[in-house]
Structure formats: C-alpha cells, structure tokens
Chain A
C-alpha cells in the first residue's frame, strides 16, 4: 500500500473517477470549478493527488488549480470529521446570539473554528446565512438543521451525535 499523510492512496480507484470527471467537463468553457465541485463530492475534500490529476488532464499548471481551490471557502484541502458542525454566522443568527453558542461549541468540542477533533469525529465550521432565519440561531450537523438554539442545547446535541446518528430533533 502506498498511503500518504492525507490518507489518499495512489492505487485508490477514485483516481480513475477523477479522470472521468475531468473528461466529462473538459470541453465546456470554465470547467475547472464544476470539476472541483464533483471531485470534492467524491473525496469530501480535494487531496493533492486529485489536484495533480486535474491539472495534468486539463493541461494547466497545478498552481492554477490550487489557486482556485484556496480562493473559495467551499473547497477544502483537508479531510473533514465524521460530523460537520456548522454554526450560522449570518446577521439574523448573530443578533439572536449565535456568538455565545459558538463559544459553547468550542468549549464542548475543545476545538476552534475550522478544526477537527483528534478522534476525527467532529469538524467545527462557521457559515454564512443558511436562510433559515426564522429558526435563528441555527446550526447544521451534516446538513441536518437544529434551530432556536440555546447554549444548554449544545452538549445535548453533541452527545446525541456520539451515541446515535442524529441527536435531538428540534
């Protein structure tokens, strides 16, 4: 096995899928960003190996591929935890107290924004307006929405993720 630090293996069959994805989009104009979206869907992030293949197949320097990836916050260079906890930092949520909720999340998970817990279970992110302002303040865990939060809900929700899939439904 030829594994590197990011856990992406050279013999990984997903590499072929990356080549297919590039081939599918290559001839349309402005293809790079749609390709990156699909490849990130495949891995959950954009490993260096995949970037190299994209650059080679598209015949552009890898610096250009990396430059685009690092520009957009939606693209990630690192693997994410099993549970992606994303707290909305839109104005409506902020006014309704998402700041203290973020503090509580940091305290409970013992990580900062953008970090992943050592056991790979949780990644903490902040995001811009999910548009569920009626439920403010809100957070999502792997896309599932938890709304009208108070600080006291946080440990319960996090504990819920550990024990089973989901936790409490609001």
Chain B
C-alpha cells in the first residue's frame, strides 16, 4: 500500500460542488504533478464537512488545517506554500477566523467543538466512492457482527435498548417498528429507506448519501437480517443527482465485495437493494404514500392501520426508516446500546443532525447531542446572526413544524420539548429568522407550499389549506379583518382533525405556531395596516427622515419612477411622493446614512 505524507480533503457535497470544488480538485492534481508531489500528497474528494457557508472547503491532514472559500486561483499558492514549504496560507484562514482561531485543529474550532458526529461520522472524512475507505473506518463490521454473533432478536433488542427514534419526523422508536415487522409471518418482506427529503431547508439525508452511502447500505442489510427481508428499496429525490450517483456506485461496490446479494459474508443470508427515484411530490415523504409511489402509482397516502409493518409495499410487511436513522445503526451495533443511550436526554437518545440556514453566520450541517440548547446552536456553533440583527425565531420541522421564539432560546432541543413549544423535530431543518422576517409572511410561505403539495385526496387538506392561504394573503395585503384570525383557527382545527395523513394533519402548524407567539404581528397587519418587520410590501410606506438626511441626492438619482423630489443646491428637502412610490426599496438600500425608514 502506498503511503502519503499529506492528504488533501476537498468537499464534494452539493453546496461546495455548486461553488466549483471539482475544478479545484483537478487544479490541485495538476499542481501536485507540476511540483512532483503527486507521490507524497493524495487528494481525496469527500462528503460534506458541514460548514457550507464557507465553501468550497479544503482540509489538509495530518495537521488538520481548514481552508475556506477556496478559489481555483488559490490552488497554486496552497500547493507551493503549504504542501511544498510547509507555510500556512493565512489569507484563506482569515475568511474562517471565526471558526478557527490560531490554526488549531478544526475539531477544536467553535463550529465543531460542541458537535458530536455519529450519523455524519464519515462525512468529510472518507471518499464515499471508495468502499475500502469505509471499511478502513470499521465499515461493514457491524453487519459482520450481526450476521455472525447475533440473532435477529438480539439485533432488534439492541436497537430497542439504545432508545433510537426515527429521525425523519414523528420520532417513533425504531426498534419497536422493526419488532412489529419481524413478528409477521410472510414469504416476502421489505426494507425501505426514505431519502425523499422534502422539507425545504433540510439536507442532512442528502449529505449522508453523498458523504457516506455505505453506512445506509450496511444498516439496511442489518435491518433485512433483523426482520427477515431479502429486498430493499431506497427512495431518493430525483433532485439529488450526486447522491443518487454515489449511492449507485456504493451498491455496485458492495455487490462486488459480496456484501450485498446472495450468501453475504458466507453466512447464507441474502439481501439486495434497488434505488427508486422520486419525482417531486412532497407527500411521498409520508410512509404510505412513499410505498404507493414505489409501486409505480400516484403517491397518495393510504389509511392506517394496517400499518406498513403489517401490510406495506405490495401488501407485504415493510419497514421504512429515514437515512439519518439508518446511519446511526452500525455505530449502535458496534459500540453498544448503552453507549448510544448515554447521549441525549431522558426520552430522546443520541444525536440529531440539523440543517441550519437562513439568517445565520455559519450556514451548514451540525450534529449535536439531543438536549443541546437552541442558544448553543445559534450563537456558538452557528456564529450568531449576521449584521448585528436581533434573533427573532427559529423554525423547525418545515411545513409541518412551527417556530421557537427568542423567549425560548434556552430550551434543550429534543422531541418532547419541541412538541411542547408547538414546533416539532421533523427531519431537522432549522431556519433562523431575524427581526426583518415577517411571521405572517412565513406562515403564508408554508401554506403556499402545502397548497401546492397537497395530493388532493382529502377535501379538508386540499381546500382548507387553500382557504387558509387566501386569508393569509389578504392579511399581508392589508385587507384582513379581525375575524380572519378566528377563521384561521377554526380551519386549522378542522384540517388537523379530518385529514388522512400527516401532511394535512400538520399543515396548519406554521399558522398556529406563529399565532401562538406572534399574534401581535397578525393584529398589527390587520388593525394598524402595518408590517412590523417591514417585509410585506403592500403595507410599507417609505419616508425620508429629514433630520438624518444629508441631502446627498443618491435616492433621487436611483429612484426608478422619479417619486423623490428635492434639491441639494437649493436646499429643498428630499421627500418621497407616496402616490408615485412603487415600494421597490432602492432608495432604502442606497441611502448611505439610513435616513429612510419603512
């Protein structure tokens, strides 16, 4: 085996690939050859490091130096300075100074220090397209252990004891689900993986598939052994081309190594996997709809019971877990249920990955032990809110979830605490909002989403969500009346009570949650015809504050509809004619002294 003195890891996740990390890799390889370093330094394309904000990211080992926002033009300098002469390219560290003080190991930086990577353990560490790298980090060892040392009952018991709960939404205990399916007697059973990550703003499942696809394959095979299934399906969004590509490579490699297929590891156990592509329907993230979709039909949900563990795919007993849930399984079998149960809170064990985005400095993926507070996530790991703005709320659980207001920022995050606050864990999207975000507008945004994505099967969901959206639209246009709030609440209650699947049952949550914490904002829109966040265009009125105005004339020059009058020389004060103003906000953006208010 060839040994290298240095390894350069370049992120090949979707975020960094979008900012050209592939070109950086090829430039890197060319420069290594040019400097005759190609036999000493190895370039590895990895999955996501998590710090997407600073991408494209490059990490050089053994020293663990992280370079951020690397450009193709920077590559020759990195090769000559860092790899040849052993000097840091401080310029590229500076961009990340907030996460990496004094070039300490990235593990010690504020972004990574409070994290605990279990599901993401191999993301940003191995080349996902090389099965050998996965095996070198104990890959497939858990499968070998299960097949050779454990009975299916013992596997299920271990998962039960660990306290692992579904990471895709509801938080159902994984071991219990497996147990139900294992108890069914049938000639055929199925294992399904839900990689139809539909929550807008969540991308951890994609990152696991892109960065560590073998962990999912291994876990699904273990699940097959535990419940007595020989066939599995991974249902992935078609919008995730890189994830699909790497998963297919991983499946092919696993087959080649005899880790999928007939007689796995010479134990007589057989199991194989197939990828099925989603086709852009959010409702297919619901378990029964997903199975209907795999069957090749319109992805409409079915009535439960019978639950999938009894009658699932093609009416056969089926278990369905999401990607992150599966990614935890091999570690639990290897390190034991006590180890897993030692992390987290009383009822929520282990870690959870969150996709932190929106108004936050360090956008990216973070994995934290359950029970970490929102404050730690936002201010320590996330680096706070940009431009010195005030934190207003964090939204979790996407269109099914709700928001956590600033007053509850110290709540430890776990399944129960989030439900109590009227939010939910969901798949782990965590969108941070600052004072400029209008909560009525956000509720409207989510309702627009559910109106689009309701499959149409149940009338309350199909028509009720549309009605709610119409009311919200009316309010944001300044045409609301106070009774609209009551009507929203009535509709919400009815839709929740009478929809068949979770999509409808949870669709009103964004409205209920914002009403719970930000009722005053709704009332301001309705009663005062004002948007306190200054976001709803119809309710804005731009005005120049005379005392602050320096008469520079920039606003006048930039106004596209000549709604501003005034004269610098003749000292005629600048004013905006509200009848001409189209509220485009250009004057507000251009004013150098913040003399324009909205």
Contact = CB atoms under 8 A, between A and B. Distances in A.
A66 B398 CA distance: 30
Interface range on chain A: under 10, 10 to 19, 20 to 34, or 35 or more? 35 or more
B431 A95 contact: yes
B200 A68 contact: no
Given A72-B281, A95-B437, A32 B203 contact: no
B277 A30 contact: no
Interface in A64-78: 67-68, 71-75
B277 A91 contact: no
Contacts of B51: 134
A142 B296 CA distance: 27
A58 B273 CA distance: 24
A37 B277 contact: yes
B196 to A, nearest CB: 11
Contacts of A34: 276-277
B55 interface: yes
B201 A32 contact: no
A170 B18 CA distance: 9
B152 interface: no
A76 to B, nearest CB: 10
Interface string B417-445: 00000000000010111000100001001
A57 B299 CA distance: 22
A31, A72, A75, A145: most-surrounded residue (chain B CB, <10 A): A72
A12 B123 CA distance: 46
Nearest to B433: A95
A170 to B, nearest CB: 7
Given A68-B297, A68-B298, A134-B52, A129 B202 contact: yes
A128 B299 CA distance: 18
Interface range on chain B: under 10, 10 to 19, 20 to 34, or 35 or more? 35 or more
Nearest to A32: B296
B52 to A, nearest CB: 3
B14, B20, B432: most-surrounded residue (chain A CB, <10 A): B14
Nearest to A88: B200
B295 A29 contact: yes
B198 A128 contact: yes
A132 B15 contact: yes
Interface string B275-293: 0111111100000000001
A158 interface: no
Contacts of A147: 18-19
B14, B357, B431, B455: most-surrounded residue (chain A CB, <10 A): B357
A134 B433 contact: no
Nearest to B283: A71
A135 interface: yes
Contact of A131 (B15, B296, B359): B15
Interface of B: 14-15, 18-20, 51-55, 198-203, 206-207, 238-241, 276-282, 293-299, 314, 355, 357-359, 363-364, 395, 398, 429, 431-433, 437, 442, 445-446, 449, 455
8 contacts: A67-B298, A71-B281, A73-B279, A73-B280, A91-B429, A94-B445, A133-B52, A135-B52
